Amino acid sequence: MLPDFACLLICYGLMFGVANKIEFLHGRFSWLDSLLSCPYCLGFHTGYLVYLALPGLGEATLLENLQFGLAWAFASSAFCYAVDTSIRLIEARTSNR
């Protein structure tokens, strides 16, 4: 099992890749464009997807898996938002020099 911080970094990497590097998704649907422009929303979806990909999912009951999946989704959304906002702030402050 991966450490929690490593899983959160995987969530951020997926969020960044989907939002910024997969260009064919942009401009298709208005709801998809809103999702792709929001690191909090996209981080939520990458959180439960990474949780579903983790090994050992069958060891818990269905209710526990739903609870842990929801917890991972919210933890990932907060982490992705914080990291993305911090990086944008750093980029904005260093590009003016």
> At 1, is the pLDDT very low, low, confident or very high (cuts 50, 70, 90)?
low
How many structural domains is the chain composed of?
1
Range of the domain at 72: 4-95
Secondary structure of 6-27 in HEC code, one letter for each residue: HHHHHHHHHHHHHHHCCHHHCC
Q: In Å, how far are 33, 41, 48 from 37, measured between CA atoms?
A: 6, 9, 19
Rounded Cα–Cα distance for residues 66 and 68 (Å): 6
Taking the model in full, what pTM does it have? 0.82
Q: For 61-73, write each residue's pLDDT tens digit.
A: 888 888 989 999 9
Q: For 39-97, write each residue's pLDDT tens digit.
A: 999 999 999 999 988 877 667 788 888 898 999 999 999 999 999 999 999 999 887 66
